[in-house]
């Protein structure tokens, strides 16, 4: 199953089968257990990751850069000023040029079409480090964290409280794929889109998972094995922040909401957190919180992903113009 990932890009959780997700998580867990062996093996010695950033980041940049260094490789940070996608140079040309230098391209962008265009034209694997539609690397880290704590994914009940954004989309797809029941609770008008929910339910039909969208946080939290949230206003939505605070009032993961979940329920947040808004500070420091394990696991999940997609014959067959 790991061989099926060789040379492929990752743009969406929909790109991965249930077995491929577990192959990534299995390797991530093994590499995490023995970082000294990973350093010695140096699977990316002499190889390069090109990192395109339209949006600034702490976890995405540091986890990818540290991971490549750990595995003997080198990561190049390309800031918004370095690469003005579609402005100074076409996305197609950028993809083709970077393919001549780098072994993997990671892009953290605004529009999902940008990372899709990069993958269409690149001759090396492209990883979606975040787009306005999905955040697959985050969800791989989330699933790794839940599996570490719970010992399984299938049959668990997860709940997401907040905006039906890119993280919610990827969680729905990821949970459906691995057989985790999942409920999203959002204020009216902020739910995940109908096509996303329909697609997640179609995926869930194959694994026996149940996908729900509700407007009451208590309905989602009751009996849940995991509570998850994200900021109410994502990057690029700063002008909406005040209005969103009013509309999302009551959608905070606080101690009363946590008490509705199972006693050993995990609390997750992809960070950065706005304490007092989407989550209470004391919840994040409670025994239920796994948010910093989750942050660490970004690196381990991404290391495993890169290892599996970028072997010796990593260039996409038939696409290298040299």
Burial of 37 (0-12, 13-18, 19+ CB in 10 A): exposed
Asked, as a colleague might, if the bond just before 177 is cis with ω within 30 of 0, I would say no
The single residue of 138, 252, 294, 302 carrying the catalytic annotation is 138
State residue 218 phi and psi, 5-degree precision: -65, -35
d(CA 199, CA 191): 14
The single residue of 135, 177, 244, 269 carrying the catalytic annotation is 135
270 is catalytic: yes
d(CA 173, CA 178): 9
Query: In the β-sheet with 226-229, what is the strand arrangement from edge to edge?
Result: 211-214, 181-185, 157-161, 226-229, 266-269
The single residue of 230, 244, 252, 302 carrying the catalytic annotation is 230
149 is catalytic: no
135 is catalytic: yes
The single residue of 108, 147, 244, 300 carrying the catalytic annotation is 108
45 is catalytic: no
138 is catalytic: yes
In angstroms and rounded to an integer, the radius of gyration of the C-alpha atoms of the chain is: 19
Q: Which residues pair with 146 in a beta bridge?
A: none
61 is catalytic: no
The single residue of 47, 270, 294, 300 carrying the catalytic annotation is 270
Residues 6+ apart with CB under 8 A from 127: 9, 10, 104, 105, 106, 107, 137, 302, 305, 306, 309
Catalytic residues, by residue number, are 108, 135, 138, 230, 270, 298
């Amino acid at each position: 199953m790991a061989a099926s990932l060789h040379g492929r890009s990752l743009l969406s959780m929909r790109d991965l089968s249930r077995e491929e997700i577990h192959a990534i998580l299995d390797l991530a867990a093994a590499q995490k257990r023995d970082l000294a062996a990973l350093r010695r093996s140096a699977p990316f010695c002499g190889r390069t990751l090109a990192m395109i950033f339209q949006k600034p980041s702490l976890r995405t940049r540091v986890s990818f850069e540290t991971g490549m260094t750990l595995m003997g490789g080198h990561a190049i940070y390309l800031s918004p000023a370095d690469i003005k996608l579609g402005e100074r140079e076409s996305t197609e040309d950028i993809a083709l040029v970077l393919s001549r230098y780098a072994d993997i391209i990671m892009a953290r962008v605004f529009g999902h079409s940008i990372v899709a265009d990069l993958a269409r034209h690149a001759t090396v694997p492209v990883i979606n480090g975040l787009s306005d539609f999905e955040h697959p690397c985050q969800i791989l880290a989330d699933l790794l964290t839940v599996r570490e704590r719970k010992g399984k994914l299938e049959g668990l009940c997860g709940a997401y409280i907040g905006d039906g954004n890119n993280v919610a989309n990827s969680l729905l797809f990821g949970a459906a794929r691995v057989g985790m029941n999942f409920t999203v609770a959002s204020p009216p008008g902020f739910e995940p889109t109908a096509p996303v929910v329909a697609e997640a339910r179609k995926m869930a039909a194959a694994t026996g998972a149940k996908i729900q969208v509700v407007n009451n946080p208590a309905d989602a939290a009751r009996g849940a094995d995991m509570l998850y949230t994200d900021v109410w206003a994502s990057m690029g939505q700063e002008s909406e922040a005040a209005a969103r605070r009013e509309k999302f009032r009551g959608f905070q993961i606080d101690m009363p909401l946590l008490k509705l979940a199972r006693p050993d329920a995990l609390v997750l947040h992809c960070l950065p957190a706005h304490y007092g808004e989407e989550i209470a500070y004391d919840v994040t420091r409670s025994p239920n919180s796994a948010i910093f394990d989750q942050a660490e696991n970004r690196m381990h999940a991404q290391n495993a992903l890169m290892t599996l997609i970028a072997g010796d014959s990593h260039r996409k067959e038939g696409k290298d113009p040299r």
